[in-house]
Amino acid sequence: MTTPVKIAITGAAGQIGYSLLFRIASGALFGPDVPVQLRLLEIPASMQALEGVAMELDDCAFPLLDSVELGDNAEHIFNGANLALLVGARPRSKGMERKDLLDANGAIFTEQGKALNKVAAEDVRIGVTGNPANTNAMIAMNNAPDIPAERFSALTRLDHNRALAQLARKTQSRVDEITNMTIWGNHSATQYPDIYHAKINGHSAAELVEQHWIEDDFIPTVAQRGSAIIEARGASSAASAASATIDAARDWLHGTPEGDWVSMAVVSDGSYGIPEGLMYSFPVTTQDGNWQIVHDLEINDFSRAKMDASATELSEERDTVTELGLA
């Protein structure tokens, strides 16, 4: 029998967790032949809810679900994890300043980075969905000195998928006819969805749409999609965020198709003038669980300004967490 993969998931009793666990247990991430062991982390106050979720996992009788471990201790849950999906985070509550949010989450991701450093498997990959995802991932990375920095990534795949869907709708094409979409920067309102390199059936996407659509419709719709969903649903994106978390991990581990790339927030090596060490979303190709930033793309002035604005925001977040002693 194939050795089961150990997947640690934090915030497992939350809304994203409620979609994510069942899809992973049914084989959506590792395919129909690989058994999975779920190791689920929650805070003490949510352990009872997590037990309910685990009962439902039992009741699905998933053939691929080898075991489920629940706990509120990061070192216990991360023990031996091959993949850690860090979804749980402290949400912004009323009256909370950005700095307070970074502080509260910094404490969580400092502790989890240290725990991963101590007990995760040699081959661990760590995907951060919990917001502010880019900076949380940077904090975890900086607190795990024995894990290579390239093993950390923050989720901008939901933004990437949203961009594909909007472009497909506008051009009356199918999402699988679109390649080379890019999200640059932070998973926040400053993100820059870039279609200047995207292709639809091999043709330049930017030539098929008007510039004013890109500026006045496409970019704001993608960047503000999360708020639009909260407005409509009364709750933040959950199933789509879970789906993107799976897409991101699957493509990271199993590779991108020839000629295409995906967007992942990864540690900057200074490519495209983005300050080193920031967790910034780039176009990347992946192979055998490793990613590489796509180099030498031509960047026009419009793109440059937007890429820099998002880098500035991430630098400010980094300054704040550095002042707080978290990174």
Binding annotation for NAD(+): 11-17, 105, 112, 129-131
Which DSSP state fits 197?
S
Residues 245, 264: Cα–Cα separation, whole Å: 11
- The residues, any chain, with a CB within 8 Å of residue 102's CB and separated by 6 or more, are 132, 135, 317, 320, 321, 324, 326
Between CA 294 and CA 218, with CA 179 as vertex, the angle to 5 degrees is 100
Site for ligand NAX contains 10 (CB under 6 A)? yes
Residue from 25, 108, 293, 326 binding ligand NAX (CB under 6 A) = 108
Site for ligand NAX contains 110 (CB under 6 A)? no
76, 160, 187, 295: the active-site residue: 187
Question: Toward ligand NAX, which CB reaches closer, 17 or 193?
Answer: 17
Residues 201, 98: Cα–Cα separation, whole Å: 42
Known active-site residue 187? yes
Residue from 9, 14, 184, 281 binding ligand NAX (CB under 6 A) = 14
Site for ligand NAX contains 88 (CB under 6 A)? yes
Question: Toward ligand NAX, which CB reaches closer, 13 or 293?
Answer: 13
How many CB atoms within 10 Å of residue 210?
A: 11
Nearest alpha carbon to residue 151 among 180, 117, 184:
117
Task: Tell me the residue length of the chain.
Answer: 327
Residue from 26, 236, 292, 312 binding ligand NAX (CB under 6 A) = 236
Among the listed ranges 37-45, 57-65, 173-181, 318-326, the one in contact with ligand NAX (CB under 6 A) is: 37-45
Q: Of 16-35, which residues contact ligand NAX (CB under 6 A)? A: 16-17
**From the CB of 20, what's the least distance to ligand NAX, in Å?**
8
Residue 203, strand partner residues: 200
**From the CB of 226, what's the least distance to ligand NAX, in Å?**
6
Question: Toward ligand NAX, which CB reaches closer, 42 or 103?
Answer: 42
Between CA 291 and CA 166, with CA 257 as vertex, the angle to 5 degrees is 95
Separation in Å, CA 323 to CA 56, 102, 216, 326: 43, 11, 36, 8
Site for ligand NAX contains 41 (CB under 6 A)? yes
Residue from 6, 7, 9, 11 binding ligand NAX (CB under 6 A) = 11
Provide the residue type at 189 as one letter.
A
Provide the residue type at 185 as one letter.
G
- The size of the interface with ligand NAX (CB under 6 A), counted in residues, is 29
Site for ligand NAX contains 90 (CB under 6 A)? yes
Nearest alpha carbon to residue 147 among 244, 102, 81, 88:
81
Q: Among all residues, which ones are annotated catalytic?
A: 187
Q: Which residues of this chain interact with ligand NAX, rule CB under 6 A?
A: 10-11, 13-17, 41-43, 46, 87-91, 108, 129-131, 133, 155, 158, 187, 226, 236-238, 241
